Amino acid sequence: MLLTEMAPPPGAQEVAGLRAGARTARRRAFVALCASIALLTTVQVLADRATTREQALPLAVLSLALFAAALPALAVTQYVWGARARRLRRRERELYAVARSGRTRPLSRLAVACGWAATLLLGWTVPRFFRDAALYGFADALSWAVEALSVLSAAAGVLFLLWWARDAVGILARVLRPGGSPGDPWDPGHGTRPREGAALWTGAAVAVAALLGARAHLWEPATGVIYALLTAALVCGVVTDE
């Protein structure tokens, strides 16, 4: 009997489905992160260029709304990603005694942490836009909230670094251990990922980095270029997600 005519081993189809679900959750988490940073950065760059109170106020409100929406969106999408990845690793260990997935987990987690840091730093500048709009009382209240959030964020960052280092060392030890997963030749997703995905993610990352550079005043692009970069980041993310 040919290999292609043999029935897949028990659990192979389930693992294939779990891998597909984990990849989908990962893509959605990165799309949410990319879109949050791109939108928030674009609005703040435009708010920086506002010349009157009437122009600054709507952009300040939009910046606050985007920041408030970004935090739960990032938390939910990343929680779903983590839950599906843990379920996949448990099933892989049950079938193969070794979890094939997860070797790039430290890098992806570090990238997500950098995204969180960028989002929080952008959010901490929101009170200044309300001061520019002459809403000083509201800006002072936001500043107090930002200070409290910054303390919590710093504590969470220290805990993350400790947890990340422990997890990275554990993964490295498992990689160096002899033996490994026999693989799953019946997995329809293995080895068939479109190469265009890497190019699209690279394009989105470059666009977001360019927007962050403009927000940090490392360069001063025209307003049309800002909108083009935002469009590129969102389009690359959406196409990649599909």
Domain-wise residue ranges, the chain: 10-178
The answer to whether 232 touches 204, Cβ cutoff 8 Å, is yes
In the prediction, which pLDDT does 95 show?
Answer: 76
In this predicted structure, the answer to whether residue 42 has a pLDDT above a threshold of 70 is yes
pTM for the full predicted model: 0.86
Residue 174 has a pLDDT of: 67
Whether the per-residue pLDDT at 183 is higher than 90: the answer is no
